[in-house]
Chain A
Amino acid sequence: MSSLVITDLHAQVHTDTGPKDILRGVTLTIDSGRTHAIMGPNGSGKSTLAYVIAGHPRYTVTSGTITLDGVDVLAMSVDERARAGLFLAMQYPVEVPGVSVANFLRTAVTAARGEAPKLRLWIKEMKEAMADLQMDPSFAERNLNEGFSGGEKKRLEILQLSLLRPKIAILDETDSGLDVDALRVVSEGVNRYREATGAGTLLITHYTRILRYITPDVVHVFSDGRIVETGGPELADVLEADGYERFTTVPSA
Chain B
Amino acid sequence: MSAITIAPPMDLAPRVHSLDPAAFTVPTARDEEWRFSPVDRLKQFFDADPAAGFVTATGNGVNVVPMSEVASSWIPIDLASAIARANVKKAGVLEIPAQAQWAEPVIVDLTTIEHNSYQHLEIVAGQFSVATVVIRQTLTGNVSGSIVINVGDGAHLRVITVVEGEFSTALALQMPVIVGRDATFIGALATLGGGAVRIQSSVQYTAPGGRAELFGVFLSDAGQHVEHRIFVHHDQPHCVSEVIFKGALLNPGARSAWIGDVLVRKDAIGTETHQSNRNLLLSEGSRADSVPNLELETGDIVRAGHASATGRFDDEQLFYLQSRGLTLDEARQLVVRGFFADVLGRIGNDTWRDSLLVTISDRLGISPVEDTDE
Residues in chain A within 8 A of chain B (CB atoms): 54-57, 77-79, 81-83, 87-88, 90, 93-100, 102-108, 111-112, 119, 122-123, 126, 140-141, 143-144, 160, 164
Residues A98 and B324 in contact, CB atoms below 8 Å apart? no
Beta-carbon nearest neighbor of B329 in chain A = A79
Residues B322 and A164 in contact, CB atoms below 8 Å apart? no
Chain A contacts of B315 at CB under 8 A? Answer: 57
Residues B369 and A82 in contact, CB atoms below 8 Å apart? no
Residues A112 and B342 in contact, CB atoms below 8 Å apart? no
Q: How far is the CA of A79 from the CA of B328 in the complex (A)?
A: 8
CB distance from B314 to the nearest CB of A (A): 8
B340 lies within 8 A of chain A by Cβ: yes
Q: How far is the CA of A97 from the CA of B341 in the complex (A)?
A: 8
Chain B contacts of A87 at CB under 8 A? Answer: 323
Q: How far is the CA of A204 from the CA of B325 in the complex (A)?
A: 22
Q: How far is the CA of A76 from the CA of B324 in the complex (A)?
A: 14
CB distance from B152 to the nearest CB of A (A): 35
Chain A, interface SS category: helix
Residues A164 and B324 in contact, CB atoms below 8 Å apart? yes
Residues A56 and B324 in contact, CB atoms below 8 Å apart? no
Chain A contacts of B322 at CB under 8 A? Answer: 77-79, 82
Q: How far is the CA of A141 from the CA of B341 in the complex (A)?
A: 13
Chain B, interface SS category: helix
Residues A99 and B326 in contact, CB atoms below 8 Å apart? no
Residues A99 and B341 in contact, CB atoms below 8 Å apart? yes
CB distance from A96 to the nearest CB of B (A): 5
- A99-B341, A107-B330 known; A82+B317 contact, CB < 8 A: no
B335 lies within 8 A of chain A by Cβ: yes
CB distance from A234 to the nearest CB of B (A): 33
1/0 per residue, CB under 8 A from A, across B316-352: the answer is 1101111111111011001101111110000000000
Chain A contacts of B323 at CB under 8 A? Answer: 54-55, 78-79, 81-82, 87-88, 90
B316 contact from A81, A94, A104, A144, Cβ within 8 A: A94
A83 contact from B321, B325, B328, Cβ within 8 A: B325
Chain B contacts of A122 at CB under 8 A? Answer: 372
B371 contact from A79, A82, A103, Cβ within 8 A: A103
A sample of 11 cross-chain residue pairs with beta-carbon separation below 8 angstroms, ordered by A number, consists of: A55-B323, A78-B319, A82-B322, A96-B321, A98-B337, A98-B342, A99-B338, A100-B372, A104-B334, A111-B325, A111-B327
B40 lies within 8 A of chain A by Cβ: no
B339 contact from A56, A98, A112, Cβ within 8 A: A98
Most buried by A among B319, B328, B334, B335: B319
Interchain residue pairs A-B with the least CB separation, the first 3: A98-B338, A98-B341, A111-B325
- A79-B328, A103-B369, A122-B372 known; A93+B320 contact, CB < 8 A: yes
Q: How far is the CA of A55 from the CA of B323 in the complex (A)?
A: 8
Chain A contacts of B320 at CB under 8 A? Answer: 90, 93-94, 96
B324 contact from A55, A102, A103, A111, Cβ within 8 A: A111
Beta-carbon nearest neighbor of B315 in chain A = A57
- A96-B338, A97-B342, A111-B325 known; A103+B372 contact, CB < 8 A: yes
Q: How far is the CA of A56 from the CA of B338 in the complex (A)?
A: 22
Residues B339 and A97 in contact, CB atoms below 8 Å apart? yes
B11 lies within 8 A of chain A by Cβ: no
Q: How far is the CA of A208 from the CA of B316 in the complex (A)?
A: 29
CB distance from A145 to the nearest CB of B (A): 8
Q: How far is the CA of A100 from the CA of B324 in the complex (A)?
A: 15
Given A78-B322, A79-B323, 4 further pairs, Cβ under 8 A: A96-B317, A100-B371, A111-B325, A112-B324
